Structure 1
Amino acid sequence: MTKDAAAVAAEKVAGVVAELTARVKRYDSMRDPRAVFAYTYFRLTSDLAVSLRTNTLSFAAPEWVADLSVSLAAAYFTAMDSIDAWLDQNPRPGGEILSTDLPDTIPKPWRDVYAASTARHSYVLEEVLFSMMAHMSYDLPIALRVRAAHGDIHHHIADFHRMNDLLAASIDVVQDEIAARYCRQLGFLDRWFTRDDELFTNYGIRVARGLAWFNCDRLLDPRATAEVTGSISRTTAAFIAEFRSPDDWKRRQAFRLLRALVPSRRQWPPPSTPVEEGRPSR
């Protein structure tokens, strides 16, 4: 790897960070629940940009890592832009929106996530987990397939695993920052959701990304493409349903009581709060 290659790769990812910064500011100003995951995504991508610039993880092909980051972000940006286009035509009345109310121009997992965020009691932890599921189970296999169209991805699996290390190592710090920015009571809610938030952990990140790699392989097989496309389209809705209606009846009743009695736990940072607050130095 050359120094120039690392610098070019870092610059590409910095472009993604800049776009995420703008979206966090916009969603915060709108008090749009999408701000929570946008901030999470911003922080994780910022860490990736720093790692590329400093060569912390010794990526063998930093340009491939950067191109995957760009392709993955493009899938997310396209979905969010489609939601914005629908909202422009259908100003949100303040009530709950169903996934079926949203157009097919929005990928189904993101329709499911946005609809879930409009529920009367939608929590910050949910917004991170549901969006993370859509992004990793749906966007990531598709982004990997995009990179596969430019050449065999399998000799990049070591770099893909290094990205897992980076993301997994960042999760605890990012969760603390989300709590400080959007939900000071996140620690309290985390105790309620302790068995359901495994996706947002070191282990969960690795499992989700490993499954995404497997599903990319399936997408590349013409005999499996239709089946896996349907599967990854349905995964997020199933995750949301299981999270909000756990099999254990005691926890299910506790969740219902919590939602009935506790007001929204979301807070919004003051307008003057910089998005970069808490971000690692470069």
Structure 2
Amino acid sequence: MTQDATAVAAAKVAGVVRELTARVMQYDATRDRRAVFAYTYFRLTSDLAANLRTNTLSFREPEWVADLSVTLAAAYSTAMDAIDSWLGLGAARPDGAPGGEVRAADMPESIPKPWRDVYAASTVRHSYVLEEVLFSMMAHMSYDLPLALRALDPAAHGDLRRHIADFHRMNDLLASSVDGVQDEISARYCRRLHSLDRLFTRDDELFTSYGIRVARGMAWFNCHRLLDPDAAAEAQGSISRSTAAFIAEFRSPDDWKRRHAFRVLRALVPSRRQWPPAGTPPA
């Protein structure tokens, strides 16, 4: 590894940060609820870019780390652009205008199924900021990430194995960033976020250091399933369905007492959010 390689890797991820900055500002300007996860993604990627500039974690192949970041962000951007195209045809927006609540089945197949599930969930009357982060993280980590890893596998021969140490270092970095990012989301979009965190106790574990490690570990496993011809079809179906299952369990848990309590709380606790002043860049 050379200093030049580290600089090139950092520059690639800095490009992703710029793209996410523009997306956050676009969503903030229209009060689109997708802004919350776009900001979360921006902050986590900013931390990765900063680390690559110094290579504090001593990535063995920072170019591969950067390529994964670029490929993963491209999957997210493609899904968001497909939603934007659909919205351009007059479909419902997640801010409730013009069409109000939608179902995933109402959306075109050009949008990956997990992101249809996330968008539809964001249009319900009582959708909370914390939910919007969790559901989007689930789609991005359980669906986009294994597909991005597969795309980087040379000739689909399982050569990803040599990158597992760097992948784990990325897990460490992202996991260490979570608490600070939660505070920043709270300050920017929902000062009551920590109250909602208590409301959703046991259901928000994905947005923790442990949860990120587990989700990314599962993505690595599912990537290898996708690379196995005998397992690929089942794996593709599994990662396509997992976000909808997560949302259903989150909003309607199997335990009837918790399910009833959630329904009561949803009726009583408003889903208030604030928006930054127009033109405020993410930081």
- Deviation string for 1:17-40 (max 9, x for gaps)? 000000000000111110000000
Identify the residue that residue 279 of structure 1 maps to in structure 2.
none
Identify the residue that residue 100 of structure 1 maps to in structure 2.
105
Of the structure 1 ranges 47-56 and 249-258, higher mean CA displacement relative to structure 2 is found in 249-258
Distance 1:216 1:155 in 2: 14
Identify the residue that residue 127 of structure 2 maps to in structure 1.
122
Q: How far has the Cα of 1:94 moved from its partner?
A: 3.9
Identify the residue that residue 146 of structure 1 maps to in structure 2.
151
Q: Where do 5+ consecutive residues of structure 1 fail to align? A: 277-282
Matches within 5 A, 1:17-166: 17-92=17-92, 93-149=98-154, 152-166=159-173
8 Å contact kept, 2:25–2:280 = no
Percentage identity across paired residues of the two chains = 78
Q: How far has the Cα of 1:267 moved from its partner?
A: 1.5
8 Å contact kept, 2:171–2:212 = yes
Identify the residue that residue 271 of structure 1 maps to in structure 2.
278
Q: SS at the partner of 1:89? A: coil
Identify the residue that residue 280 of structure 1 maps to in structure 2.
none
The TM-score normalised by the length of structure 1 is 0.96
Q: CA RMSD in A?
A: 1.1
Distance 1:247 1:86 in 2: 34
Of the structure 1 ranges 87-96 and 134-143, higher mean CA displacement relative to structure 2 is found in 87-96
Quick one: which amino acid aligns to residue 212 of structure 1? A
Q: SS at the partner of 1:204? A: helix
- Runs of 4 or more, structure 1, over 6 Å off, are none
8 Å contact kept, 2:25–2:279 = no
Quick one: which amino acid aligns to residue 210 of structure 2? Y
Identify the residue that residue 249 of structure 1 maps to in structure 2.
256
Q: How far has the Cα of 1:262 moved from its partner?
A: 2.8
Q: SS at the partner of 2:137? A: helix
Q: SS at the partner of 2:236? A: helix
Match of 1:192 among 190, 194, 199: 199
- Deviation string for 1:126-182 (max 9, x for gaps)? 000000000000000000001003672110100000000000000000001111111
Q: Where do 5+ consecutive residues of structure 2 fail to align? A: 93-97
Distance 2:31 2:57 in 1: 36
8 Å contact kept, 2:21–2:281 = no
Quick one: which amino acid aligns to residue 253 of structure 2? P
The TM-score normalised by the length of structure 2 is 0.95
Please say if 1:221 is aligned against 2:208: no
Distance 2:78 2:179 in 1: 28
Q: How many residues align?
A: 276
